[in-house]
Amino acid sequence: MTRPEPPDARRSATMRAVKSRDTTPELAVRALLRAFAPGYRLDRKELPGRPDVAYLGRRKAIFVHGCFWHGHDCPRGARMPKANADYWAAKIARNRARDAAALAALAGQGWSSLVVWECETRQAQALSARLRAFVCA
């Protein structure tokens, strides 16, 4: 008979499973972009903030943010965990500060940036129009 994992071990396993690349919202954005603006590059480490999608020649960067992890003001992003609430509030605040610094650094280098939130990927037509306006402008 196997013993159940302690709560900390289960939490650690869950957190290890969270991906930073090729997430469902990121794949949805890339599928929309392929229809009208292929030729993007992924996860450019040399750019501030490491944008999820970058058009190098056009100097345009797209970040796809998870609502919870980056503190969006939608219902999912505004929901705070009950366990270890101080830790999570501080972590999300650090993420938001890091995001703002990355956007400012990109702007300082002459790049245009767009942030797409996870909740926006559920409305494909509206998101497609927004992406087209940003990339093709």
User: What average pLDDT does the structure give for the chain?
Assistant: 90
pLDDT at 135: 96
Q: For domain 21-136, give its CATH number from 3.40.50.410, 3.40.190.80, 3.40.960.10, 3.40.1350.10.
A: 3.40.960.10
pLDDT at 78: 84
Q: What is the pLDDT of residues 45-102, one digit of tens each?
A: 999 999 999 999 999 999 999 999 899 999 888 888 888 889 989 999 999 999 999 9
Pair of tokens at residue 89: 């509030």
Is 63 in contact with 114 (CB distance < 8 Å)?
Answer: yes
Pair of tokens at residue 129: 């129009």
pTM score: 0.86
